[in-house]
Structure 1
Amino acid sequence: MMKCLYCDSENNSIDQACSVCGAPLYTKRPQLKEYVSLEDSALSFQELQRFHTYDLLVLLRLVREERSKSYNLMRAVQKAPEGIEIDKSIIEFGESEYRLYTARMKLIEGLLVDRMGYKPKRVDDKLLTALKHRMDSK
């Protein structure tokens, strides 16, 4: 016998779906990670989909910070005074980093919209603390 992770009903282990609610019996629910880093943003859609919502919010915060840094650097290079020679590869690198972090940000925001129904404008300590508190009080 196997218990459904969603409705807590006992099920025959040969079934793929819960006989009461129809939820898949062998799907793992997202678990909180010990540590989320900017490198996680390079993971595929399928891998990010397995992240807990809290971890996606932390990752979105990291990616938005990095995207802002890339944008500010790109703008600083573009506004360099005349007469200063800046290698074209440096300019192209800055632009590609900005595009990369923009794409990663949009992917994570899309996953959050699927789960939460919206993408948060700001991911600050207040939002993360409130979510953590709700999770701990379950």
Structure 2
Amino acid sequence: MNCLYCDTENDVLMETCVFCGAPLHQKHPERSEMVYIEMCHLPFNKLAALHTYDLLVLLRLVRKERSQNYDLMRSAQKLSNSPSIDQEMLNYTEEQYKLYTKRMKVIEGILIDRMGYKPERIDDNLLAKLDSKVKKFENRKEKCLNG
């Protein structure tokens, strides 16, 4: 079995590479077909196993959801004296805002561990550049395996 990191040949029964010490039976994360907002509720270890591209897309979704919940919370607070807005609704909007804030921080923390920073803005341009780099890497990797 070859090491994914240094390409050193290792015995199949070994757990770590004899050259670099990397785990041999661990696979690199693969991109998901679809990223959706509910994925932010995955436990930390499952989030950490997602591809960096998927984490960026998920962070973009979570930030958008958080922003919408903030706007809803502020509107509910402004209308809190109105009989149509009860305390339950106000509490719910605050809980949702806090929930998505925490989820956002978890995803940002994973990205900081991987990239050394968290992107302030995740736009289509950033995602397109990363997508291009990932595809180039996958093509090179495929050529190495086949040739």
TM superposition score category, shorter chain reference: over 0.9
Give the match for residue 12 of structure 1: 11
Distance 1:49 1:81 in 2: 39
Amino acid at match of 2:33: E
**In the alignment, which residue of structure 2 is the partner of 1:118?**
117
What CA RMSD, in Å, does the superposition of the two structures yield over aligned residues? 1.0
* Distance in 1 (alpha carbons) for counterparts of 2:106 and 2:24: 27
Unaligned runs of 5+ in 1: none
Q: CA deviation at 1:20?
A: 1.3
- What is the aligned partner in structure 2 of residue 134 from structure 1? 133
In structure 2, what is the Cα distance between the partners aligned to 1:81 and 1:121?
A: 32
Which string of whole-angstrom CA distances, capped at 9 and with x for unpartnered residues, describes residues 51-98 of structure 1? 00000000000000000000000001111285x221110000000000
Letter of the aligned partner of 1:93 in structure 2? Y
Task: Find the aligned partners of 1:17 and 1:124 in 2 and give their Cα distance.
Answer: 38
Q: Which has the higher contact order (CA 8 A, sep 6+)?
A: 1
Gaps of 5+ in 2: 138-147
Larger helix fraction of residues: 2
Give the AA of the match of 1:52.
H
Partner of 1:22: 21
Q: 2:108 aligned with 1:109, yes or no?
A: yes
TM-score (norm 1): 0.95
Aligned residues, how many? Answer: 136
Task: Please show how residues 70-85 of structure 1 align to structure 2 within 5 Å.
Answer: 70-80=69-79, 82=81, 84-85=82-83
Q: Percent identity?
A: 52
Runs (4+) of structure 1 exceeding 4 A deviation are none
| One-letter amino acid of the counterpart of residue 101, structure 2 | T
